Amino acid sequence: MSSTLLDAPAPPRQEIRRKRRPPYLPWLLLSAAMVLLGVLTGFPLVRLVVMSFQEYERAQLMGQPAEWVGFDNYATILTDVDGFWTVLARSFVLMVVLVVVTIVLGMLVALLMMRVGKGLRLLVSVGLLLAWAMPSLAATTVWGWLFDTQYGVVNNLLTKITGDRWFGYSWLLDPLSFFVIVTCIVVWGAVPFVAFTLYAGLTQIPEEVIEAAQLDGASAFQRFRLIQLPYVRSIVTVLVVLSMIWDLKLFTQVFVLQDIGGDRELTSTIGVYIYQMGMAQGHYGLASAIGVIFVFVMLAIAYPYVRRTLREEEL
């Protein structure tokens, strides 16, 4: 009996193979999201590209047909050294400063949360969450009030400390101090996300590795440089790319501070420049061309990260 069972032929491979799901099932499940993305993202993007090749002004909003001008809008923008290129360079410099300060402070806060006790860590986490949860418009309004010309807290404190009269001094009129305040606002709101993300990554490092490095006599900086930083390098890369994208398209903080008292000509970033060109001046065709160029700039920034991610998935 047993020899009969052993000698029985194995069932065909097709019979024991699991039935594959229909190839259309994943696409069917994604169809609703794809339709929603196509309506909310795809159509505006196509409309943006079309308008960038048209002379689209306020008259076209009233129903007049738009005239096709080819690449004239792009030529006008790309040859505008005092306008587009100056604003783009200013935006890149501000982006670099914001990214560096945000990542460095976020890493320091994450390392602090690794060192402190549970109670103090909870206090720091609550403070970070409160800063993170505040809308950027509300935060910018509060910071603008702190540096108000007549009733600002900063001018009041400087008057009491130095004895000089600081009332009437405008911090927003000077471009350098304007961008210092912008940096404070953006970093204040961005550090919590970076700190929480890095803290989550640092907690995944095995304690045995840190303890072994301590026994070998490695200093705190050496442990950070040789162990902790390599472990969270991929997380840092993601945070840097995301911060570059977010900071390059900065709008709310700059726009609100300009309304409070900043010089628009000397402090506009690329996001505000697009708004001014389109909504304020009515040059929607030129604004669309800037938007298309800006999309390619953002893709160029994100491309190295996407390429690296795809390579890691292949490995």
DSSP labels, 148-177:
-TTT-HHHHHHHHHH-S--TT--TTTSHHH
Does pLDDT of 19 surpass 80?
A: no
CA distance 52 to 103: 36
Q: What does the pLDDT read at residue 308? A: 75
CB atoms under 10 Å from CB of 219, counted, come to: 10
Name the least confident of 12-26, 40-54, 93-107, 300-314.
Answer: 12-26
Nearest to 144 by CA among 183, 102, 172: 172
Q: How confident is the model at residue 102 (pLDDT cuts 50, 70, 90)?
A: very high
Residue 105 within a domain: yes
Residue 165 within a domain: yes
CA dihedral 66, 70, 71, 74 (to 10 degrees): 10
Residue 52 within a domain: no
Q: What are the two backbone dihedrals, phi and then psi, of residue 21, each rounded to the nearest 5 degrees? A: -70, 150
Q: How confident is the model at residue 11 (pLDDT cuts 50, 70, 90)?
A: low
Q: What does the pLDDT read at residue 258? A: 92
Total domains, the chain = 1
Q: What does the pLDDT read at residue 1? A: 47
Q: Strand, helix or coil at 181?
A: helix
Q: What does the pLDDT read at residue 214? A: 85
Range of the domain at 147: 83-314
Q: How confident is the model at residue 313 (pLDDT cuts 50, 70, 90)?
A: low
Q: What does the pLDDT read at residue 30? A: 86
Residue 199 near residue 114 (C-beta atoms within 8 A): yes
Does pLDDT of 227 surpass 80?
A: yes
Q: What does the pLDDT look like over 143-200, one tens digit per residue?
A: 989 998 888 888 889 888 888 888 888 899 999 999 999 999 999 999 999 999 999 9
CA distance 143 to 262: 13
CB atoms under 10 Å from CB of 198, counted, come to: 24
Residue 151 within a domain: yes
Residue 29 within a domain: no
Of the chain, the percentage scoring pLDDT greater than 90 comes to: 39
Task: Identify which of 14-18, 46-50, 195-199 has the greatest average pLDDT.
Answer: 195-199
Residue 163 within a domain: yes
Residue 20 within a domain: no
Does pLDDT of 305 surpass 60?
A: yes
Where residue 99 sits, what CATH number does that domain have?
1.10.3720.10
Residue 153 within a domain: yes
